[in-house]
């Protein structure tokens, strides 16, 4: 699935499946898609679980080279709702004219 986005920056929100013992990478899954692998610049310095938002580029191998990640807590504050998030994503993709997300390149 990620093959479509090779060499493109993406924002990926998924549930953490497994963390590699070295802490340098982890896998994401949400049941629909096959597991996606995320590689980090530096090893993890905290427990990673639940839903995370990963920002990075898709490599040639189809893995995500993460430049940043955010844990979206489902138990604290205003709980994150993955289902609703998916609904919103569909809306954003269905109406690109109203949601012009894009990276503006200067020069």
Partner 1 sequence: MNSSRVQAYIWRHRRNTATVEVRLSSLELKHTFFFTLHSYKLSFNMLTKGAIEALTKCSNDLQNPILQLVNIRKIDGGSGPARFRLMMSDGQHSMSSFMLSTQLNPMAEDNRLAPNCICQLKRSVTNVLKDGRRVVVILDMEVVKSADEVAGKIGEPQPYVEGSMNKGPSRAFGGKMGMPPSAMPSTPGGSSKIVPIASLNPYQSKWTIRARVTNKSGIRTWSNSRGDGKLFSMEIVDESGEIRVTAFTQEVDKFYSIIETGKVFYISKGSLKIANKQYSSLKNDYEMTLNGESTIIPCEDTQDVPMVQCNFVSIADLQAREKDTILDVIGVCKSVSDVTRLNTKNNREVSKRTLNLMDQSGKLVEVTLWGEEAETFDGSGQPILAIKGAKLSDYGGRSLSASFSSTVMVNPDIPEAYKLRGWYDKEGHSMAGQSLTEARTGGGGNTNWKTLADIKTEHLGHGDKADYFSCIATIVYIRKENCLYQACPSQDCNKKVVDQQNGMFRCEKCDKEFPNFKYRLILSANIADYGDNQWVTCFQESAEAILGQNAAYLGQLKDSNEAAFEEIFQQANFHTFVFRNRVKLETYNDESRIKATVMEVKTVDHKEYSKRLIMNIRKMASAQ
Q: Which of 70, 87, 93, 96 binds partner 1 (CB under 8 A)?
A: 87
Select the span of 13-21, 31-39, 68-76, 89-97 touching partner 1 (CB under 8 A).
89-97
Pairing of strands 25-29, 51-58: unpaired
Min separation Cβ 101 and partner 1, Å:
16
The whole-angstrom separation of Cα 15 and Cα 49 is 7
Q: Which of 35, 91, 93, 96 binds partner 1 (CB under 8 A)?
A: 91
Structure tokens at 57: 């580029």
Work out whether 74 is an interface residue with partner 1 (CB under 8 A): no
Structure tokens at 81: 């709702």
Q: Residues binding partner 1: what is the number (CB under 8 A)?
A: 8
Applying CB under 8 A, which residues contact partner 1?
A: 78, 81, 84, 87-88, 91, 94-95
């Amino acid at each position: 699935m990620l093959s479509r986005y090779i060499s493109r920056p993406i924002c990926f929100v998924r549930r953490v499946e497994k963390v590699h013992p070295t802490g340098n990478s982890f896998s994401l899954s949400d049941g629909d898609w096959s597991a996606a692998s995320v590689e980090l610049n530096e090893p993890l310095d905290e427990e990673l679980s639940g839903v995370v938002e990963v920002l990075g580029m898709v490599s040639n191998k189809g893995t995500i080279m993460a430049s940043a990640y955010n844990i979206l807590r489902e138990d604290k504050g205003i709980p994150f709702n993955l289902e609703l998030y998916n609904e919103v994503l569909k809306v954003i993709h269905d109406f690109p004219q109203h949601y012009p997300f894009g990276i503006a390149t200067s020069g």
